[in-house]
Structure 1
Amino acid sequence: MTTLIDNSSDALLPDGQLVRRWGLAGTGGPLPVAPTAMSVTGTTFDVLRAEHGFSAMVEIDVDGHRRRILFDAGASTDGLIGNLDRLGVHPDTFEAIVLSHGHFDHVTGLHGLVRRLGRPSMPVLLHPDGWRRRRISGPGGVLDLPTPSRAAIEGAGFTVIEQRRPSLLLEDFLLITGEVGRTTDFETGMSGHQACVGGRWGPDESIEDDQAAVLHVRGKGLVILTGCGHAGIINIIRHAQEVTGIRRLHAVLGGLHLRFGPVVDRTIDELVAEAPSLVLPAHCTSWSAQQKLANRLPNAFVPNAVGSACTLGASD
């Protein structure tokens, strides 16, 4: 899994447990060079861009053959395609796109893919509630969120596949969770989040279109990749365990939507009990929540940044 878009970019992060970094201190790859008149050499490093959003490239190697999908697309029109160029990844190599949910910071980067590819003939998989109009209501007023357009995405050439139930991609190697049941009493969703259903605005704190990607690494356990984790990472873990029948958890990657309050400590308590080998929190995971994860899971926690490449191999 290579992070293409995240809230953090750091060219000086060294490699970590199971993670290689792109930049000046890691072994994932060198920073590309761009021309500039402000340097005596006429060049500068073209560092990877961070933005409030998430996107990841999932690659599965089986018998020497590499399969590749795009998981989420980031927030800006050109952020994803720009980082793909910097990393030397050709967007026409993706076999499918999975959108974890319908929030703009996971969808908008499709714009740049379309401009580059013309009419991309690849499937886009998402929950049918991902098209809902949404807003956030709080003390400062109401913020309307950009809504993804099914007509525009289909008109661009993508094939939309809506699915509420779990589904399998890449010849059944990769599980997409579908709608995740809310079973914990502490993962209560996003306060103030609303959706327009049937022409009326109402509470939508659970954001039920949130889904994750799951892979079983032989001899190691489940790997779970989230976009925001609005369903709650413990709900997602339990859902993945129930669907797959596999109890052991190997790694948790991606946005956890942990910010503050009792939910952070309760979630970390449950994660500690699951004893994952790797926790790579991204995107909407606050600094304080990351500090607590690092303190409670010191042997598993690894900070994320754009360009981090996590390699998880099966046991012989």
Structure 2
Amino acid sequence: MRLVILVDNYAINGRNLKGEGGASYYIEDEDKKFLLDVGVSDLFMKNAENLDIDLNDVDTVVLSHGHYDHTTGIKYFIDSKDKKINIICHPLSFNKKKRENKNMGAPYNKEEIEKLANVTFSKEPLKISKNITYLGQIPDTVEFENRKLMGQIEIDGEFKDDYILDDSALLYKAKDGIYIITGCSHSGICNIIEYAKKIANDDRVLGIIGGTHLQEINEQTAKTIEYFKANNIKELYPCHCTKFHVRAEMFKTLDIKDAYVGLEVNW
């Protein structure tokens, strides 16, 4: 499997690569090429071009969840294609989302996106390629990871508290264990890992790349670090919504890797 970060909060110098507050990953698994998330603008397309990645070969976008910083780029990607793209996401990903009366959601609602693309909505795990699975809705199993309220979501014409039930991730099953690719981990990074273990029937967690949504040095962060250590995870690439001071705290006891626009990993 090959993964290249197209959008992250940080970018390396050179090749005219730029960062923004969002996430997008280009992924290859054998003959399948697809995107996980598309950032907040068309920057993922510009960065891909500067990285010599041909997005003309990509017709599928998997969305980790429905927030604007992971979905807004979809309108630019749709406009760049001469036929409908495929989208895979949770059934709530295109529901309207708001926080303090500011839009937090995708650029289209469910009715609009179904006219523009071939959309597969799934709460259940769904095979994306030979070795990669979209995990669907993540169950809450880890005691110290309580879902946090983040604005409101429109359901059946009424706005309700949003605990980001649409937040999901990808599981890559390799010969020697599993890898996990996240968007924001609103579901809890440890909840995601535990569910991935169950779906893969494999407890050997080799690596993680993506947002962890850990933004404070608190009990949850401390217990997450202990969880990573207990699981002997060798390749940790915390990025996007993982705050710098949290990364610094992780680095005290974990060999975390640097993540940025242009980073390529091959697993």
**Within-5 A mapping of 1:154-165:** 154-156=114-116, 158-165=117-124
State TM-score, norm by structure 1.
0.79
CA offsets 1:126-173 (integer angstroms, 9 cap, x no match): 000112222224xxxx433244423443333x2100111011122x32
d(CA) in 1 for partners of 2:86, 2:155? 26
Q: Which residue of 1 aligns with 2:132?
A: 174
Counterpart for residue 8 of structure 2: 6
Offset at 1:259? 0.3
Match of 1:124 in 2: 87
What's the secondary structure of 1:129's corresponding residue? Answer: coil
SS at match of 1:112: helix
- In structure 2, the residue matched to 1:51 is 20
User: What is the CA–CA distance in structure 1 between the aligned matches of 2:112 and 2:51, rounded to whole Å?
Assistant: 28
RMSD over aligned Cα atoms = 1.6
Partner of residue 32 from structure 2, selected from 67, 71, 77: 67
**Could you say if the C-alpha distance between residues 153 and 200 of structure 1 is closer, same or farther in structure 2, counting changes exceeding 3 Å?**
closer
User: Is the 8 Å Cα contact of residues 88 and 120 (structure 2) preserved in structure 1?
Assistant: yes
CA distance in 2, matches of 1:297, 1:74: 28
Q: What does 1:265-280 align with in structure 2 at a 5 Å threshold?
A: 265-280=222-237
Ranges in structure 2 where 5+ consecutive residues have no aligned partner: none
Aligned to 2:141: 183
Gapped runs of 5+ residues in structure 1? 12-22, 24-30, 32-46
The CA deviation at 1:196 is 2.3
What is the one-letter code of the residue matched to 1:92?
N
**Count of residue correspondences:** 263
Deviation at 1:191, TM superposition (A): 3.7
The aligned counterpart of 1:40 is none
1: CA distance, partners of 2:18 / 2:76:
14
User: After TM superposition, what 4+ stretches of structure 1 lie above 4 angstroms from structure 2?
Assistant: none
1:307 and 2:231 correspond: no
CA separation of 1:177 and 1:198: change in aligned 2, threshold 3 A: same
Task: Please say if residues 66 and 105 of structure 2, whose CA atoms lie closer than 8 Å, have aligned partners that are also in contact.
Answer: no
Matched, 1:250 2:250: no
Q: Secondary structure at the match of 1:267?
A: helix
Highest Rg: 1 or 2?
1
- How many angstroms apart in 2 are the aligned matches of 1:296 and 1:236? 22
